[in-house]
């Protein structure tokens, strides 16, 4: 599904951010593990979440759609997740597969996990190593890739662990295994990562203790814990709102309100960067929804200038570098995004993919050993962007086209549905010149 975008007039209007992907995955997984019923509203009905939901059904949960974004999950509770009859196809979802493997390791079951070409190229040992230390048996393809078969006797040992990289997925996989493990599992995080697992485990009735030691967060879970079904109202995804916000900032004359954006500080690093760059990005009307603080964000097009992004901010904006690089393309001066080696193991190598996307469209960009340098200026456009099955590369390219002299085209826009299925409608509704070529 080839798509393209061209220079656009001012964007204007009020839109809502789609449901948060991280919280939507967790709602399906925790609901399936719990005793009783979980009622979910505002779920992101993206392909990644639908993959996770169907995997949790294969493991024994009953999941029913009751309305738009509304789902009822009957958890497996006492009986526990069960060995599935089929391989568990997690699609494109790194969060899905890694959290589900962690959850399953706590039960007596055996399952084989598969995924699409992008997911099958991503490293799984970062999850499998700690799960093996806890007692699970895992076999993977070379380099720890999918398909992975993971088996557990449901009687793991608790673990004291410091993940080798700042990753909420690693932390979450270990915590989910610890839910059904007798004893205290402790995770030390020198750099905090998104804390949705901790927050949601509490909402499902678990006690999680977080203390500070030598500047690091120490997270303790004393298992086993019986999770109880609850209500989850999924807030809007700041990582999806990011595309709307940057589009409005860089398209001259724009004035846009994005409602229902989660403002959890482990997720808002991009907003800090855009504000430092001179962007009018003003959160208003703070309130609480589903245990998280949300706000409406008012954005007006602004003259941006380049910045050096502090590496310590990376965990709070790990998915936002490609779209920040787009903002940097029209900012005055140089933007440096460094110490972001983790981007190489996302849905694609996002350092290479972002550099190629900008370079193909006339932007002055350099690939650093572990980062990206962009010097802002005019964007010629006219390039064809290879998205490598990566939704965030696809959306970033289409936003760049809104300020380019000639159209920016992407090889495939289908993957956008993994995280932001309403992207085309939302953006064209605001006045963006984005089109889908259904014949290509």
C-alpha to C-alpha distance for 327 and 249, rounded to whole angstroms: 8
Which residue lies nearer to ligand S3P by CB, 48 or 74? 48
425 flagged as catalytic: no
346 annotated among ligand-binding-site residues: yes
User: What is the nearest approach in angstroms of ligand S3P to the Cβ of residue 251?
Assistant: 26
Find the shortest distance in angstroms from Cβ 172 to ligand S3P: 6
Least Cα distance to 353 among 311, 318, 396 occurs for 396
Q: Which is nearer to ligand S3P, 194 or 373 (CB)?
A: 194
| Distance in angstroms (rounded) separating the CA atoms of residues 107 and 102 | 10
Our CB check for ligand S3P shows the closer of 6 and 172 to be: 172
Contact (Cβ atoms closer than 8 angstroms) between residue 270 and residue 320: yes
- Residue 392 in marked binding region: yes
- The answer to whether the beta carbons of residues 204 and 262 sit under 8 Å apart is no
> Residue 75's closest CA among 174, 188, 179, 156?
179
Q: Report the nearest approach of ligand S3P to the CB of residue 254 (Å).
A: 27
For the bound state, the minimum distance from the C-beta of residue 157 to ligand S3P, rounded and expressed in Å, comes to 24
Which residue lies nearer to ligand S3P by CB, 169 or 348? 169
* Phi, psi at 312, each rounded to 5°: -65, -15
Token pair, residue 440, equals: 């290509």
Q: Which residue is nearest to ligand S3P (CB)?
A: 22
Q: Is 122 annotated as belonging to a binding site?
A: yes
Contact 34, 277 (CB under 8 A): no
Q: Which residues bind ligand S3P (CB under 6 A)?
A: 22, 95, 167-169, 172, 193-194, 318-319, 342
Give CA–CA dist 162/133, Å, rounded: 13
Query: Is the omega angle on the peptide bond into residue 345 within 30 degrees of 0, that is, cis?
Result: no
CB of 22 to ligand S3P, least distance (A): 3
380 is in an annotated binding site: no
On whether 435 is known to bind a ligand per the annotation, the reply is no
CB 391 within 8 A of CB 240: no
Active-site hit among 272, 319, 338, 349: 319
**Closest C-alpha to 48, from 87, 107, 99:** 99
The residues assigned a catalytic role are 319
Binding site per annotation, positions: 21-22, 26, 94, 122, 167, 169, 319, 346, 350, 392
Q: Residue ranges for the binding site for 3-phosphoshikimate? A: 21-22, 26, 167, 169, 319, 346
From the annotation, which residues make up the binding site for phosphoenolpyruvate? Answer: 21, 94, 122, 169, 350, 392
């Amino acid at each position: 599904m080839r798509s393209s975008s061209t220079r656009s007039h001012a964007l204007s209007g009020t839109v809502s951010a789609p449901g948060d992907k991280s919280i939507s995955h967790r709602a399906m997984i925790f609901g399936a593990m719990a005793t009783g019923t979980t009622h979910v509203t505002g779920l992101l009905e993206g392909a990644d979440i639908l993959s996770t939901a169907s995997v949790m059904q294969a493991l024994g949960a009953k999941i029913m759609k009751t309305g738009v974004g509304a789902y009822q999950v009957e958890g497996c509770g006492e009986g526990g997740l069960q060995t599935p009859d089929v391989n568990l196809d997690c699609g494109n979802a790194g969060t899905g597969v890694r959290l589900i493997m962690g959850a399953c390791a706590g039960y007596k079951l055996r399952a084989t996990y598969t995924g699409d070409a992008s997911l099958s190229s991503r490293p799984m040992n970062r999850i499998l190593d700690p799960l093996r230390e806890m007692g699970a048996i895992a076999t993977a393809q070379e380099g720890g890739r999918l398909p992975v078969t993971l088996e557990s006797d449901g009687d793991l040992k608790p673990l004291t662990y410091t993940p080798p990289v700042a990753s909420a997925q690693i932390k979450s996989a270990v915590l989910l295994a610890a839910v059904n493990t007798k004893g205290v599992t402790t995770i030390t995080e020198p750099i905090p990562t998104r804390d949705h697992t901790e927050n949601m485990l509490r909402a499902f009735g678990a006690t999680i203790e977080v203390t500070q030691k030598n500047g690091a967060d120490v997270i303790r879970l004393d298992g086993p814990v019986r999770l109880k079904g609850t209500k989850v109202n999924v807030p809007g995804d700041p990582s999806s709102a990011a595309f709307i916000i940057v589009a409005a900032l860089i398209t001259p004359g724009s004035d846009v309100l994005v409602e229902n954006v989660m403002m959890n500080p482990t997720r808002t690093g991009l907003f800090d960067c855009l504000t430092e760059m001179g962007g009018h990005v003003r959160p208003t009307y703070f309130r609480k929804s589903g245990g998280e603080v949300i706000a409406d964000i008012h954005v007006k097009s602004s003259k941006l200038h380049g910045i050096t992004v502090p590496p310590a901010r990376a965990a709070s904006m790990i998915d936002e570098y490609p779209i920040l690089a787009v903002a940097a393309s029209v900012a005055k001066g140089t933007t440096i995004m460094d110490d972001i080696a983790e981007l190489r193991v996302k849905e694609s190598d996002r350092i290479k993919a972002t550099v190629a996307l900008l370079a193909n469209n006339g932007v002055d960009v350099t690939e650093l050993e572990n980062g990206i340098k962009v010097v802002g200026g005019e964007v010629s456009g006219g390039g064809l962007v290879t998205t490598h099955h990566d939704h965030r590369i696809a959306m970033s390219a289409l936003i760049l086209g809104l300020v380019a002299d000639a159209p920016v085209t992407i090889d495939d826009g289908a993957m956008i549905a993994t995280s932001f299925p309403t992207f085309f409608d939302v953006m064209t509704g605001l006045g963006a010149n984005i089109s889908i070529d259904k014949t290509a």
